[in-house]
Amino acid sequence: MRSVAVRAHPLVFGVVVFLASESMLFAGLLAAWYDLRGMSAAWPPPGAHLDLAGGTLGTVLLGLGSVTMGIAQVAATRRRRGVARGMLVLTLFCALAFAYVALRGWSQANFAVDSDAFGTLFFVLTGTHLAHVIAGAILLTALALFLRTPAFTRDDHAGVEAIAYYWHFVFVVWLAIYATIYLVR
Q: Tell me: the pLDDT tens digits for 4-17?
A: 556 778 888 999 99
Domain boundaries, the chain: 53-183
CATH second-level architecture of 53-183? Answer: Up-down Bundle (1.20)
- One-letter amino acid for residue 127 of the chain: G
Q: Tell me: the pLDDT tens digits for 18-43?
A: 999 999 999 999 999 999 999 998 89
Q: Give the 3-state secondary structure of residue 110.
A: coil
Yes or no: say if 59 and 175 are a contact pair by the CB < 8 Å rule.
yes
Q: What is the mean pLDDT of the chain?
A: 93
Provide φ and ψ at 80, rounded to 5°.
-100, 75
Q: Tell me: the pLDDT tens digits for 101-135?
A: 999 999 999 999 999 999 999 999 999 999 999 99
Between the alpha carbon of residue 180 and those of residues 37, 52, 78, the distances in Å are: 11, 12, 38
Yes or no: say if 85 and 148 are a contact pair by the CB < 8 Å rule.
yes
Model-level pTM? 0.92
